Structure 1
């Protein structure tokens, strides 16, 4: 009951920033370019925040919720698998549209994780091979535009090429419903999981290791 109460409080705590962010970002796309200048301020209660402060707070607060939900998922699976001992310091995220994952990447950064983004399979492999510090996790979309054209199997090809090097770095596919229907192919290629849910993504990451710090 204690855990449920804490989760409800966490959900309540993020309700206003998430709702406000959704309204601003989704319902008024024509003012996005103005907000991106980050020179405007917003009135929140009795306080005035810059757009930068507001968006940073939204990311930090929802990152904290992701942590709590991931922890809840881990507790629910306790006894089914060993608890992770390591820490996730660096994540390689391969996606031809990095802006699609900007929010999730921001959440990871709020928790002390360094996120390196690559836009193609080859760019991702070069990042892995040239890394002075190893990556703890690789996240990839499934289909993406490659230099030779769109490849609907790009995520699978990335997993296969990573495994060909002998690397055991966990690789997760983060995509849409099409990717979800290919769980078996992902597993057969050597992938560690596939999801379209940001909360489940963080739960999968939580199975690999802890985040360096608690989001504030």
Structure 2
């Protein structure tokens, strides 16, 4: 990728963050320049000097997160997904990121470790990339038993869980119920195949922050959980 192409690409991403470019460009950037985009961002400096201390460059972080969340939305197995719907999700991601990715949120994220429980962790790689771009560290577990063992040895700032893990179709609730019954109040989010109101209500009744199948909502929930007092 030539230097002038990189400059044009970064300019396009900057405009995306201000929600000023047409939706088709988002898809073009993600599909055509995905690998180059990651390499370009990784080569940029992460810190800028402001006053007496260092502050993370917001534009760089925001662009990385928007790209990852957009890729997460595009990768979901949605039968009626269209380029227009994916582009709309990308625009929503840009709005969400511009609102919640602040210097304070990044400072908190860099000190946080999240346990992600899912028997198919590869399906959530883009969602993790979005949070890792802010400095969040992840520990993965593929079963309820493995998760409980890790929880017994380490403190986590939040826990994300899917719902069904063979042979337990409600493994997310099983893990949540065991934690709450033992007095463990670690913020808990269910990331599964539903965001129906009745499922959201049930997850909250059991002590979770909520449940969702939307990458943008998950991102907001995790940052909100990390912002809570320890």
Distance 1:164 1:53, change over 3 A: farther
**Aligned-pair CA distance for 1:190:** 0.9
Q: What's 2:118 paired with?
A: 95
CA contact (8 A) 2:117 2:147 kept: yes
Which of 11, 15, 18 is the equivalent residue of 1:6? 18
**Aligned-pair CA distance for 1:19:** 3.1
TM-score (norm 1): 0.62
Matched, 1:19 2:31: yes
Matched, 1:153 2:170: yes
Q: Which runs of 5+ in 2 are unaligned?
A: 1-15, 43-60, 70-92
TM-score (norm 2): 0.59
Is the deviation greater in 152-161 or in 171-180?
171-180
Q: Write out per-residue CA displacement over residues 100-135 of structure 1, whole angstroms, 9 at most, x where no aligned residue.
A: 11111122222211011100011111111111xx21
What aligned pairs does 1:175-186 form with structure 2 within 5 A after superposition? Answer: 175-177=192-194, 181-186=198-203
Which of 140, 147, 161 is the equivalent residue of 1:140? 161
Matched, 1:111 2:134: yes
In 1: Cα distance, 2:181 partner to 2:106 partner: 26
Write 1 or 2 for the structure with the bigger share of strand: 1
CA contact (8 A) 2:64 2:133 kept: no
In structure 2, the residue corresponding to 1:151 is in which secondary structure? coil
In 1: Cα distance, 2:177 partner to 2:107 partner: 24
Quote the RMSD (CA, aligned, Å): 3.7
Larger RCO: 1 or 2 (CA < 8 Å, sep 6+): 1
CA contact (8 A) 1:174 1:201 kept: yes
In 1: Cα distance, 2:215 partner to 2:206 partner: 22
Q: Write out per-residue CA displacement over residues 36-63 of structure 1, whole angstroms, 9 at most, x where no aligned residue.
A: xxxxxxxx6xxxxxx8655566997451
Q: Which runs of 5+ in 1 are unaligned?
A: 21-43, 45-50, 76-82, 211-216
CA contact (8 A) 1:135 1:169 kept: yes
Q: What's 1:63 paired with?
A: 65
In structure 1, the residue corresponding to 2:222 is in which secondary structure? helix
**Aligned-pair CA distance for 1:168:** 1.5
CA contact (8 A) 1:63 1:108 kept: yes
In 2: Cα distance, 1:115 partner to 1:201 partner: 15
Which of 175, 178, 185 is the equivalent residue of 1:168? 185
